[in-house]
Structure 1
Amino acid sequence: MQRRTVLAGLAALPALASIRPAFAQEKADMIGTSGGDVGIHPVMHASFALTFGEEVIYVDPAKNSFEGLPKPTAILITHVHGDHYDPDNLATLAGTTVPIWVNEDVYGKLPEALKGQATALKNGDSGSINAIPVEAIPAYNLTADRLKFHPKGVGNGYVLTFGDKKIYVSGDTEDIPEMRALTGIEVAFVCMNLPNTMDINQAADAVKAFKPTVVYPYHSRGQDVEAFKALVGDASEVRIAAWYPAA
């Protein structure tokens, strides 16, 4: 775990017109652990919240609103792309006290005012988010024409441990060996969309390799998540959440 104090400018991100409204499910899915229930609150695309007792962790808030959800006690960001990280919205959500956990690339692009409350993790690093253990897992592309999107060693996935249960957040990745080698995962959030990450066939094959108890397909715009569910079969319970507003 490393605290960084390097000066850097704002990230260059795709222009987005305004903060998007929340589409969080009205009722959270609950996962039982030895330390109490974890609440899973999908918001939109790659953004969601995890609640655990008094802890509220926002994951990849991007430019989305978390209206209707409790204020965060921590914020976790996988990488710098605009559908995961937006410096202005992050500043609004984090205020001056909420701890922020990021990869090294995002840390280098944080507004100066946020650096004092941020912790940078590189692949393989671990730490503790308000007593919740977290490990940074690699997240990268394998396919030749996709390598430019997520180079190896830059982005993070994360494994968070709540009581006796582990939750895996893939970030943007393909079906990498590090994902396939995971063990003991209770809940997995697995990305699937093209051209940036992987298709449903790759995602399902990876899930069948590491066998999480429950898997949420997310970051899945344009993909047939019902077909993904069929491909996974009995290997894991697939839960399809409302990540996108109805057209």
Structure 2
Amino acid sequence: MRIERQPGFPAPGRPGLFWLGQAGFWIETGRHRILVDPYLSDSLARKYAGKANDHRRMMSPPIAVEALPRPDLVLVTHAHTDHMDPDTLRPLAERFPDLPFVVPAARMDVARERIGESAHLIGVDAGETFDPLEGITITMFPAAHETLERDAERRFVFLGYGIRAGGFRLYHSGDTIPFDGLAEAVRAFRPDIALLPVNGRDAVRLAAGIPGNLTLPEAVALAGAAGAAFLVPHHFGLFAFNTADEAAIDAAVRVAAVPQILKPVAGETLALIG
């Protein structure tokens, strides 16, 4: 497989990835279209207006919510608003009442509140695998957004998703830091592409209630340990208080061989060839 950069939104039927900002991606498998963690509104800027971390966007949404075509499936990794955004997901559910939304079962109550009581919600947990569409298999992984948090029923609060579609396998970690067993579990899935956060973590952000993620070196190490040919970093460039050094990403792109690092660009498709 090789990956080429092409302008604009992925054409239907042509496999590719389109970055929506933060952890959001539109994934065209060639047969189906999968939407992951879209944050296309300013709901957090309104919520935190006038506060220290005001959540003003550093980049505009590459596509408006109302301009999104119908995906075949929506995956939500956890209930933080930049991943489970009511101002993005509820309008989708209203436009497409039969659209399935896959959400952590541990946060089903929040999902119903934000996406809609009548929305088609599918609750899942780490360790499960299911086939939501013909030719698509989804595997759920645990994620540790600082901790491996579980609810009272021992279901994981934070998830990652492995997507097997046609001739490729893609792993979206959700928000996570490294933890014992993660690399081994992902390696067993054998992803071709790893979509991993790179904004890191520190005591200052954690004290302000901002849980952390992989650093760029940790993301490179995880993708390499998992055997992924490509690493697509994300979770940078949206909020000034919780981003990554893009110069460091650019430098890593220039020197990395395996995995090859492909820095996503808003408004551009990473087309999967072969």
Q: TM range, normalised to the smaller chain?
A: 0.7 to 0.9
Distance (whole Å) between structure 2 residues aligned to residue 137 and residue 204 of structure 1: 19
Distance (whole Å) between structure 2 residues aligned to residue 219 and residue 25 of structure 1: 21
Q: Deviations over 1:109-166 (max 9, x none)?
A: 123644551111111111122221101111104xxxx44xx63632100001011321
Distance (whole Å) between structure 1 residues aligned to residue 191 and residue 69 of structure 2: 26
1:200 maps onto 2:224 in alignment: no
Which residue pairs with 2:90 in the alignment?
91
The code of the aligned residue for 2:250 comes to E
The code of the aligned residue for 2:109 comes to G
Once the two structures are TM-superposed, the CA of residue 178 in structure 1 deviates from its matched residue by 3.9
1:190 maps onto 2:196 in alignment: yes
RMSD: 2.7
Percent of residue pairs identical: 22
Which shifted more, 69-78 or 42-51? 69-78
Which residue pairs with 2:101 in the alignment?
100
Contact (CA 8 Å) 2:231, 2:262: kept in 1 or not? Answer: yes
Unmatched runs of 5 consecutive residues or more in structure 1: 1-23, 31-35
Which residue pairs with 1:55 in the alignment?
32
1:185 is paired with a residue whose SS is coil
Q: Between Structure 1 and Structure 2, which shows a larger proportion of helix residues?
A: 2
1:214 maps onto 2:230 in alignment: yes
Matches within 5 A, 1:1-247: 26=8, 28=10, 37-64=14-41, 66-67=63-64, 69-95=68-94, 96-111=97-112, 113-114=116-117, 117-131=120-134, 132-141=136-145, 146-147=146-147, 151=149, 153-181=156-184, 182-183=186-187, 184-195=190-201, 196-220=212-236, 221-223=243-245, 224-229=248-253, 233-243=256-266
Once the two structures are TM-superposed, the CA of residue 28 in structure 1 deviates from its matched residue by 4.1
Once the two structures are TM-superposed, the CA of residue 209 in structure 1 deviates from its matched residue by 1.1
The code of the aligned residue for 1:189 comes to L
Q: TM-score, normalised by structure 2?
A: 0.67
- Alignment size in residue pairs: 209
Unmatched runs of 5 consecutive residues or more in structure 2: 1-5, 42-60, 151-155, 202-211, 237-242, 268-274
Which residue pairs with 1:3 in the alignment?
none
Contact (CA 8 Å) 2:178, 2:218: kept in 1 or not? Answer: yes
Q: TM-score, normalised by structure 1?
A: 0.74
Contact (CA 8 Å) 2:142, 2:159: kept in 1 or not? Answer: yes
Contact (CA 8 Å) 1:72, 1:94: kept in 2 or not? Answer: no
Once the two structures are TM-superposed, the CA of residue 38 in structure 1 deviates from its matched residue by 2.1
Kindly indicate whether structure 1 or structure 2 has the higher relative contact order, using CA contacts under 8 Å at least 6 residues apart.
2
